[in-house]
């Protein structure tokens, strides 16, 4: 069996790790060179939600548009495979629209339930815990803190520490 076929076989039965549900949905977005530029969240078996500015940083030139390919490592999946994604939906570089939806295109989809996001109006004074990749750190670093009520544009402030 070729290396490509072996990888495909592994991905057909791929699932998220259940031992660490807080970070199981984390994805590392990177350049074709492997340099990590940011994080994303696996929202279902075929989509990853990330920031517009993160997806743009993965590309050369940094022109983000639908159809561009962005490499992503599924950090929370068994074997941590790297997959190719395609930009499906875009916000823009304004803070309140800093979103990009990526779709896995180069591999069979893996088993993953749809993520459940918190209610928009119930986040004030709630603790959070996230895993990110500052400075391209492949191991990742955790940050914790508290969420605050949304501002006039609907953005939620995240303070570090005190969670």
What does the block give as tokens for 37?
A: 């530029």
pTM: 0.76
> Could you tell me whether strands 47-50 and 100-104 are parallel, antiparallel, or unpaired per DSSP bridges?
antiparallel
How many residues would you count in the chain?
A: 163
The residue assigned the tokens 């800093």 is: 98
Burial of residue 117 (number of CB atoms within 10 Å: 0-12, 13-18, 19+): exposed
Task: Outline where the chain has alpha helix (H).
Answer: 3-12, 52-57
Q: Which residues contact 77 (CB under 8 A, 6 or more apart)?
A: 14, 15, 16, 17, 24, 42, 110, 112
User: What is the pLDDT at residue 96?
Assistant: 86
Q: Give the pLDDT confidence of 2-55 residue by residue, as tens digits.
A: 444 444 434 445 677 666 666 788 999 999 999 999 999 999 889 999 999 999
User: What is the pLDDT at residue 8?
Assistant: 40
> What 3-state DSSP class applies to 134?
helix
Please give the mean pLDDT across all residues of the chain: 81
């Amino acid at each position: 069996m070729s290396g490509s076929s072996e990888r495909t076989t592994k991905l057909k039965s791929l699932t998220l790790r259940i031992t660490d549900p807080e970070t199981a949905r984390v994805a590392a977005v990177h350049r074709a060179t492997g340099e990590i530029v940011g994080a994303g969240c696996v929202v279902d078996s075929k989509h990853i939600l990330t920031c517009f500015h993160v997806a743009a940083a993965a590309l050369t030139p940094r022109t983000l548009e639908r159809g561009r390919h962005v490499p992503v490592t599924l950090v929370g999946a068994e074997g941590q495979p790297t997959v190719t994604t395609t930009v499906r939906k875009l916000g823009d570089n304004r803070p309140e629209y800093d979103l990009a939806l990526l779709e896995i295109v180069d591999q069979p989809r893996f088993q993953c339930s749809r993520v459940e996001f918190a209610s928009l109006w119930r986040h004030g004074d709630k603790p959070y815990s996230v895993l990110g990749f500052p400075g391209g750190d492949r191991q990742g670093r955790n940050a914790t803190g508290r969420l605050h009520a949304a501002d006039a544009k609907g953005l939620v402030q995240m303070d570090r520490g005190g969670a």
